Chain A
Amino acid sequence: MKRTTLSKWSGLIVALILLASSLLSGCQQEKVLKIGFITEQTGVDAYVGPASVPALQDRIDEINAKGGIGGYKLQLIVYDTRSEVTDAVAVTKRLIDQDKVVAIIGPSWSAAAIPIADIVDAAKVPAIATTASNVNVTVKEDGTLHPYMFRVCFIDPYQGYAQADFAYNKLGLRKAALLTDVASPYTVGLHQFFENHFKELGGEIVAKEGYTQGDTEFRAQLAKIKDSGADLLVMDAYTYKDVGLAAQQAEALGLDIQIMAGDGVFVPELLEMAGPQLEGAIVTTGVSEESPEFAEFNAAFEAKHGVKANIYTYYGLDALMAIEYAIGEAAKKGPVTPTAVRDALETMKDVQLFTSVVTMEPDTHNPHNKPLLIMTIKNGKWELLETFQPQ
């Protein structure tokens, strides 16, 4: 009893001292931590940013309304990348040098995340890539870790492995055709891992076709795939348009084939574009906006901002919540510096983020055993087939 009163009093005294000191220092009324967010508001991937920025800002406002974290208020600083690597790098430097952010969220694609990893290492500011799934984002080619780069999504080898496993063991398919966007490291990487594991299991890759970002015409490739006798079309495109168009054109060619795609295309727009043609297609993803636990969030989000939430929204929130957690942990130990945030991120264990409970692997900076959802399209809607848990 007595102890509580004592601690209450001491708390009050501390608060008074803080108040006095803040009044004395004048301009510095409250401690603010800046969090940078690098996203695509313009350019080819302009559908990523508008669905994420309001969500993150809402969350920050909510936290600040509750008094902040560990005595700090948060401020979100958003910069557009124009979907260009050069711009993504430039804004990262800006966030670090000019805005002095404590942590960075983004970018969403590997080609930008790889050069950014070097920059954040040098500047000692942690960054959490949202959907950049290439292995080399957090671990260099020679196997050493980028100490300041993290991510909240699973990595390409894991998804490629899971796809091959599901196709071979659950669907019983043996002849796969790959249709690869050769300009996308995401697609090239995933297909490499799919091919490795699918062959390991005893499957056969009967056709390997390519196209380039921005293409809309796939009939030549699809006709060849039809000719090859494949029973599975793997198309882990980065942009949903590719899968939507390929599905439409496959149908027009009379190619009846199981289509499989990765989390890059798991957005509601895909269904609007080619729902009927994609009936029965398999899409693997780390998180689904169809999950009932997000229904309330989705409805509120769309009503408030007029934009549909998508997986980029969720991964953005995941990254923000990981940073919130790390700031909270760091604040317990001392002043919140970028390095302290990094240390807390690295040792993150069983923390509830927006999409799932996450433990960070200290030696790879990837989320440990993040479950993978295997979805299908049924009656024009996403449906969960099963959850893939790695061994």
Chain B
Amino acid sequence: MGYLIAIVILCGINIVAALGVAILTGYTGLFTIGHAGFMALGGYMSAIMVKELNVPYPLALLIGGAFAGICSFIIGYPAFRSRLRGDYFAIATLGFSEAIRLLLNNTRGLGQSLQDSTSSFGQGASSLLIKLGGAFGYMNLPNVTNVWVVVVTVALAMFFAHMYVTSQYGKNSIAISQDEVAAEMMGVNLLKTKLISLFISAFYAGVAGGLLGFYFAYLSPSLFTITKSSDLLAAVVFGGIQSLIGPFITAFVLIGVPELLRTFAEWRLIIYGFLFVIVMIFRPQGLLGYVEMNFSFLGRWWNAIFRRKHTPSQKG
């Protein structure tokens, strides 16, 4: 039972982060391979909030998310301002997450070098940086993430993601992902829309990072590698670009199934790779198709079954 709960928790955390990637990559068309960096930022920030400043846990998660969101502007602003191509942005996200990992790996060394500083701020910064532990990891965090917290967070995350993608901003994002120039001609503010989308996306990743830290009771830079980023991307691609329920289900399938079938470990990434290509060529709508979280299909069925006469035929 405990193991199943562990899987549910890990899946839930991945779903939150994958929803972030879905908003950015799926809905806004911005390719990211560095979301692990935002997870790390959010995770460390919320851990500092709880452990050093005794901020309540749910609030700390939000602060962590907001911090990741704000940091995302560091790459978002320069990249979007000059309307860089998706490729540039993708490389920038990768560089960003590696830079974050490098910094986190060195917090201890940085702290030790600040130790001799005379100002009280320097002293405080030094002791905090040493506590973060660099490559050793940030240890003895409160172990407060449980399955209920995760379920509630996932539900809220789904709800707000749904709200966003159906809002005007969400529609603008979709317009950008379809055709940037046309969207701009229709009066969409590209920079603003992309930055909002990136902020929300990083926010989700940051919250997921916080959940992860409080689940392991430990954070270390080695938790947030490129593998993590590509797992998240896989969940979005297989689930269906421009779908929320798709990544929700595939995050479960991608984390849960390999967990249950660990023997295929060596084959897992090979299968991922082939599936990436196959999905893009044959089913770009994702393995599940355009399943979306609305209930309009009930209405369509109703129409199809009871009001067939009134439904205009597709062929006109």
Contact = CB atoms under 8 A, between A and B. Distances in A.
A88 B7 CA distance: 13
Contacts of B220: 85, 111, 114, 185
B35 to A, nearest CB: 14
A93 B3 contact: yes
A296 interface: no
B3 A85 contact: no
The 10 A-B pairs at the shortest CB distance, nearest first, are namely A97-B3, A97-B2, A80-B265, A115-B218, A93-B6, A98-B3, A185-B135, A185-B136, A183-B105, A111-B222
Contacts of B266: 41-42, 80
A136 interface: yes
Contacts of A85: 220, 222-223
A90 B228 CA distance: 14
Contacts of B86: none
Interface majority SS (helix, strand, loop, mixed), chain B: helix
A374 interface: no
A200 B225 CA distance: 37
B135 A141 contact: no
B143 A118 contact: yes
Interface string B97-109: 0000110011011
A182 B109 contact: yes
Interface of A: 41-43, 79-80, 82, 84-86, 89-91, 93-94, 96-98, 110-111, 114-115, 118, 123, 134, 136, 140-142, 182-185, 188-189, 210, 212
B262 interface: yes
A364 B2 CA distance: 29
A141 B265 CA distance: 34
Size class of the B contact interface (CB-based, 8 Å):
35 or more
A50 to B, nearest CB: 10
Contacts of A123: 2
Contacts of B228: 84, 86
B183 to A, nearest CB: 37
A315 B136 CA distance: 22
A86 B222 CA distance: 9
B261 to A, nearest CB: 11
Contacts of A140: 139-140
B10 interface: yes
Contacts of A136: 136, 139
B103 to A, nearest CB: 10
A94 B259 contact: yes
Contacts of B146: none
A89 B109 contact: no
Contacts of B2: 93, 96-97, 123
A182 B102 contact: yes
B248 to A, nearest CB: 20
Nearest to A188: B135
B217 interface: yes
B206 interface: no
Given A93-B3, A98-B3, A183-B105, A118 B218 contact: yes
Given A41-B266, A97-B1, A183-B135, A141 B140 contact: yes
B218 A114 contact: yes
B137 interface: yes
A317 B268 CA distance: 28
Given A84-B225, A84-B227, A115-B217, A91 B135 contact: no
B106 A90 contact: no
B218 A188 contact: no
B134 interface: yes
Contacts of B265: 41-42, 80, 82
B138 to A, nearest CB: 10
Nearest to A123: B2
Given A80-B265, A134-B136, A136-B139, A96 B3 contact: yes
B64 interface: no
Nearest to B264: A80
A270 B35 CA distance: 35
A267 B212 CA distance: 34
A69 B268 CA distance: 36
